[in-house]
Amino acid sequence: MSQLRYWQISLSGYPNRIHNVIHNPLRTLLQPITDSYATSIPELLVQVQKATSPRQLTSVMNKLQSRTRNLPSEERAIVRKQMAGALIQLVQYASQASLRLEAAGWLRMFIQMTYVSQPEQVFVTLVTAAARTIAAANTTEPSEQHAYLKMIFDCFWPFRYPYAAYTWEQFPNNEVFYPLAPLLSQVDDSTRDALVAIFAELPSLDDAEIAEYLLPIALAWSNHTNPERRQRITPILALISQSSAQEALCRLQADLDPLVRTSAKRAIEKAYIA
């Protein structure tokens, strides 16, 4: 009976212990050999440029992220600049909308993580893609244009107080957003809402190339029956110095809706501080 009990003792962990004793030293021994056959960073950058699907692009980008993590800061910055350049090429020239959007999503992440020192180039790429996509609406999915506009808006948050990661000196010039202004008179309401949200992030809206298209929308919204529209347009009116915009903003300070009145007063205070 005692013999039987002896052989019933569980040995389930024993094979694992043997495996670890053998495998761990072997892995350590083979690591230099494995590393020597790992794809180099230049080769991975070429793979980014040649990616043909979102899944393939994500796989290569994850490898690059892993390979650059432990590089010296100067080398890492150089590689990330090259990565951004390869992603920009995909947004500009990839034939598949899904691949363009995946590359654009990575560029947004690069901005949000402050991986690029000059974010304006990414904004230029996304704005150009949005304008081009809308212009070619008959041959592209409507969701693509909305995706680009949302990404542009998302790229503003690293500039926002109190957790700004970029300085205002790095904020893109208004000229970058000129191609979006004509779209205000060409798109549906939901896309127009996205465009208004983007322009509300700019430091001023007096550029003729913007005001020509935005001011009529702003004045129309200031008289809209929907109080949410009147509330949302107050930051836009505060950034346009033309008399018609300022008169509309003053009128909204006495709006029947308390939220509109509060929004108008805050917009004036913010513009005055800026």
pLDDT digits (tens, 9 = 90+) for 15-31: 455 445 445 555 555 44
pLDDT band at residue 38 using 50, 70 and 90 as cut-offs: low
Neighbouring residues of 112: CB distance < 8 A, sequence distance ≥ 6? 154, 155, 157, 158
Q: What is the spatial distance between Cα 177 and Cα 128, in angstroms, rounded to a whole number?
A: 9
Q: Are 187 and 133 in contact (CB under 8 A)?
A: no
- Which contiguous run of DSSP H or E holds residue 244? helix 243-252
pLDDT at res. 271: 79
- Enter the pTM of the model: 0.82
Amino acid at 15: P
Greater pLDDT, 16 or 74: 74
pLDDT band at residue 33 using 50, 70 and 90 as cut-offs: very low
In the DSSP assignment, the letter for residue 95 is: S
How large is the average pLDDT for residues 54-59?
Answer: 97
Q: Give the position of tokens 């992220």.
A: 65
Is the pLDDT assigned to residue 116 strictly greater than 60?
A: yes
Take residue 63 and report the two structure tokens written for it. 């490898």
Reduce the DSSP state of residue 137 to 3 states and report it.
coil
Range scoring the smallest mean pLDDT among 89-98, 169-178, 187-196, 210-219: 187-196
Least Cα distance to 249 among 222, 214, 221 occurs for: 222
Cβ count near 61 (within 10 Å): 21
CA distances from 179 to 98, 131, 193, 195 (A): 23, 6, 16, 11
Taking only the tens place, the pLDDT of each residue in 152-205 is: 999 999 998 788 899 999 999 999 999 999 999 887 888 899 999 999 999 999
In the DSSP assignment, the letter for residue 171 is: S
Apex CA 136: angle with CA 95 and CA 91, to 5°?
35
How large is the average pLDDT for residues 202-212?
Answer: 96
pLDDT at res. 134: 63
Handedness of CA 37, 40, 46, 51 (dihedral sign): positive
Mean pLDDT, all residues of the chain: 87
pLDDT at res. 34: 44
Least Cα distance to 202 among 125, 250, 264, 274 occurs for: 274
pLDDT at res. 160: 87
Q: Are 59 and 106 in contact (CB under 8 A)?
A: no
pLDDT at res. 10: 47
How large is the average pLDDT for residues 137-159?
Answer: 83
pLDDT at res. 143: 83
Q: What is the spatial distance between Cα 8 and Cα 184, in angstroms, rounded to a whole number?
A: 79
pLDDT at res. 163: 81
